[in-house]
Structure 1
Amino acid sequence: MDTGAQDCVVAALSSLVHGRVDSGQVTREPGRQLRWVAAGTATPPVVLISGAGEVGLDWAVVLPSLAQTTRVITYDRAGLGASDPVPRPTLDAQVRDLVALLDKVGPAVLVGHSWGGLLAQLAAFASPDHTLGLVLLDPFHEDTTAEVPLGLRVSSNLLFNAIPLLKAIGLFDRIAANMGRTLAERCTDDPETQALVVEAYRASYRTSAQVATIRAENRLANTCTREVRAARATSTAPDVPMRILTATRGKPPALRQRAGDLADRTATAFPRGIHVVVPDSGHYIHKDQPAAVVDAVRAVLAQADGKTP
């Protein structure tokens, strides 16, 4: 486990959160460590699940607000951030890792972005007793691939295939630093805290193995269609409060329409599912419109806790 990355993330989040930031790990087979950090104390807890190739720190914009009213846990999937790598990520292993985390932190509301939104659903199917509610932010759906324009698919594949090379020649470190600065500026105006966030982000992608996992996870998203369809066909969505938030910017019209239709379908599969379109938001809703995400999570928490119908 990359304890240096873990320490950097704890330091960055501690500078943003009013209160203690905890850290720990879940031991997976064979002795592999899955790293998590947490802030806040109230229950029920919330588990944040990042998009493909992204780390727990990606939630830094909304985590401090959520931690004011409940316990919030975010984690790095295998091979990313401080968590130990695996030879090859698989969908089944990622779902089992998430369920193992839920075994440790207790029943929780699951909040997933993009690829993390799919993992949240699959974990809810696999372990309904550990799932108190769901908030899905522009979630990945296996049936959207056909609507992605060919040119966009080709350019995306070229970019992800080039990532290891960019790391080898030193260019990826500059990209990570720029992305870290953008994240930091969305979190705070304080220069010292911004520096901590940037350092934590860079530490999360310091090694070649971490960067290679970005490519591997995105490839997994492109090859999982049959497996996910089978899981949906053989699973029953738990009767828990659930909201899907979808973006309005950054997608071709046909893809945006298809994503909205699939979000409607997903919401309908859950007895208490609601689809909400978030105005003026791109794919990263938790960064573009953090208040909308915080409100949605708190609404689901209130329902999960029995405070509202």
Structure 2
Amino acid sequence: MRTMVGGVATYRIGDGGASVLYLPGAGLVGLDFLNLTQLSGATHLLYDRGGTGWSAPVALPRSAAEVATELREVAGDGRHFLVGHSMGAVYARRFAQLFPASVAGMLLLDPGHEDLFAHLPAEAAALNDQMKPDPAQLPDLTAEQRAAGKQAWAKILGSWPSSVRDELADHHVEHWRTGLLEAANLESEVYDELRSGGPVPDVPVIVLSAGAGNPAWQSFGSPELIRQALDGIRELHAGIAASSTHGSHRVIEGATHNFMHIEHPDEVRDALHDLIASKG
């Protein structure tokens, strides 16, 4: 099932129809989106960015242009529908800036936004800073923490085939720092790349917002600040959708940022079906 393309681990599922490429958020890998590939009538390409998952090691973090160029080499010719989650959605938009002829449409799952902290209350930026640990300062997990982590991941991935689930759970626990390392330049460099990167092609876009946001926020901010942050994020998501002639914004109530596609797979698959059926 896993093949290597120039050091990048890929997983191609299906044959024929629309080409769908999945860009995981930081800390996730291609196989975390395996449940979405049940949508028929398409060829689904899951992959692990360089330095993540089962791809060859590379220095992290990377520029969005590096990530986009790597995906272009993996994806090959043709027009593709991009499914980008969180930071992966930022990379998807950068890919669209650099390779507009290769993009048929985009499904963005609770995407990051380059103007996030200019749009939200100042307290939200302080909240974000509190939530960002320094990977180098964090201690290694204990044996008990690793065991608990594997159990938690096995529950999250409960509908995955057991062989895939066990491998994924082990990987996430043993490589938990990777997502932190990959996202280290999101606000300092990647957002600037996107902001100054030129236009995104006018292709169909569906943006899904996680109605419950990030549960980790609850430990750092007041309910009122969390509500303001969620409202502001939804406004930015609606703006991304409105920038497309065929754009749509949907809020999935109860969905959390990290796992909306696992918690509400039917809604996400329905959105992907609608995107493919659009005028892309």
Output the TM-score relative to the length of structure 1: 0.76
Residue 137 of structure 1, aligned match among 109, 126, 131 = 109
Other structure's SS at 2:157 match: helix
User: Matches of residues 1-309 of structure 1 in structure 2 within 5 Å?
Assistant: 22-27=1-6, 33-63=7-37, 65-66=38-39, 68-91=40-63, 92-103=65-76, 106-145=78-117, 147=120, 149=124, 152-158=127-133, 160-163=135-138, 165-167=139-141, 169-170=142-143, 173-174=146-147, 176-185=149-158, 187=159, 193-194=161-162, 196-205=163-172, 210-224=175-189, 225-231=191-197, 235-250=198-213, 252-283=226-257, 284-304=259-279
Superposed displacement of residue 197, structure 1: 3.2
Aligned-partner Cα distance in 1 for 2:27–2:183: 7
Aligned-partner Cα distance in 1 for 2:167–2:115: 35
- Larger relative helix fraction: 1
Other structure's SS at 1:246 match: strand
Contact persistence 1:43–1:70 (CA under 8 A): yes
Cα RMSD (Å): 2.4
Q: How many aligned residue pairs are there?
A: 263
The 3 A distance-change label for structure 1 pair 24 and 279 is same
Aligned-partner Cα distance in 2 for 1:98–1:52: 15
Q: Provide Cα deviations, 1:95-128, integer angstroms capped at 9, x if missing partner.
A: 2112222226x42110011111111111111111
Output the TM-score relative to the length of structure 2: 0.84
Superposed displacement of residue 219, structure 1: 1.1
The 3 A distance-change label for structure 1 pair 295 and 201 is same
Other structure's SS at 2:140 match: helix
Q: Structure 1, unaligned stretches of length 5 or more?
A: 1-21, 28-32
Identity %: 25
